Structure 1
Amino acid sequence: MNFIQEGGYRLKGNKTRSGILVSIITVVYNGEKFLEHTINSVLAQTYPNIEYIVVDGGSSDGTLSILRKYDDQIAYWKSEPDKGISDAFNKGVALATGELVGILNADDWYEPDAVARIVSRYQPDSVLYGSLQYWNLDGSKDVQAAPNLHFLPFEMSLNHPTVFVSSSLYHKYGVFNLNFKLAMDYHLLLRFYKAGATFIYVDGVITNMRHGGASSNVIACYREVLQVKNDVLGNKITNQFYFYWQVLRRTAYVTLSRTPLSFINKLYRKHLSPIKRQY
């Protein structure tokens, strides 16, 4: 029997606010180290009409203590075992009642005006996205990644932690596929893209991300990206060749980073890469 715990002010009645309701979902498992920083970045947003939902996978550390601390400021939180990240995402989407839905990882954080800038560009049936600021584990700032929508059929060229999706798109085209453990966000966005959904770029940094996490397994991500493209787009031979190119490119990057020629990586990422990363 699964032991389910829950909380949040929504259990006592929703707060009434004006404007478009934005649901923000955080999924977490044993994330006590950074979760409070993530929560505070949502609570500090300049846009007021936010419904914050946290889905915990049954943490055994101090995660639940943090959630209880913010019980009167989080709309709803729930703790129970899940089937992985995709399943946790889907639980959050099912709980969301907002017209617009964003997903913020448990070690990432928003810029203070992120949601306000997203809402200012919002259109029905749209996907909104922006730039992502990477941070090193020592707290120093790293590269800033700008998205490239036109490159989406080739690889994950949008920054998922910056993405906000109209809830209507989930209803029309479905949610996250449980078969994908790393590239579930790419599979979702590529389906929206193929279906002709409207994508809107919002200028500037929306979200900050620490290096590390599940997506740090780069080659495994490439393999899932290949599976995603085969599933959504077809063209398996072309996709396979692009996979080899990704692996070769990654190998060259890692090799050069260990030599005095590492400056070549910076030049490539700044001037030649289709997914621009500025230092």
Structure 2
Amino acid sequence: MLLAPLLALIATSTARAQPPGPLSWPITLRADDRPAFGAPPPGWDRPGDGIPRGRLEMVSYDSRTVGTRRRLLVYTPPGHDPQRAYPVLYLLHGIGGDETEWQRFAAPEVLLDKLIAAGRAQPMIVVMPNGRAQPNDRAEGNVFAAAPAFARFERDLLDDVIPAIESRYRTRTDREGRALAGLSMGGGQALNFGLRHTDRFAWLGGFSAAPNTLPPATLVPDAAAVASLKLLWLSCGSKDGLLRVSQDLHAHLQTLGVPHVWHVPAHGHDAAQWKQDLHHFVPLLFR
């Protein structure tokens, strides 16, 4: 079921400058499709003067799932203490990105440094892996053809990425110490994997989730399935052709009475949306 929407998306796209079909889906706004948060304060995404800074590090790990050595980008917070067990946010990219995508368009190290310095976010480690679990994991050629590799990443994340991080850094290893979120394709992955493994993740975020997202009733068959979650976040821009993916899950959660964040600001399927999502999402974690 995971691949069917992606294969349909492939069929509607060509090697051209036109967006894939679903990005052009008609948008019908509903009464509660509105922002849950205001605009960030001035300077929110600019490096702060005189505040402690965290560190970005490119890390390699052996992936038994893929059979190769792979890379991921890791943020450690200011004053990182190797003897302290930190919570971890696993942050996933979109279909055309890789382990550097978040750093290139959002500079999460800047956002985290400022939020931590202001006391608004808990010090945490942020892991940005490559969600394309195949030997050539570069975003090149027809990126939609990697749909099976995005599904296979579930095993790479659980069996290879998390153990690699927990062996290299001192981290919390309880579910309350792990969060999983992503944008677009990565948003679908975060919901698909996280809602199947609430024993591993207590904090979940889907930013502009793509059509790889499983049907709502499959993701959340009943309220009991997600009762242990500390946070379930859904967001999508009101000008985004993929809005219906998140709308349908939001409506299903409402029917079941499942608490969740529903955030619909005036953005499209774009970097400005996801960067602000991260800014608002991070302070809610590990409280």
TM-score range, shorter chain: 0.3 to 0.5
Bigger Cα Rg: 1
TM score, norm. by length of structure 1: 0.33
TM score, norm. by length of structure 2: 0.32
Query: Which has the bigger relative contact order, CA under 8 A and spacing at least 6?
Result: 2
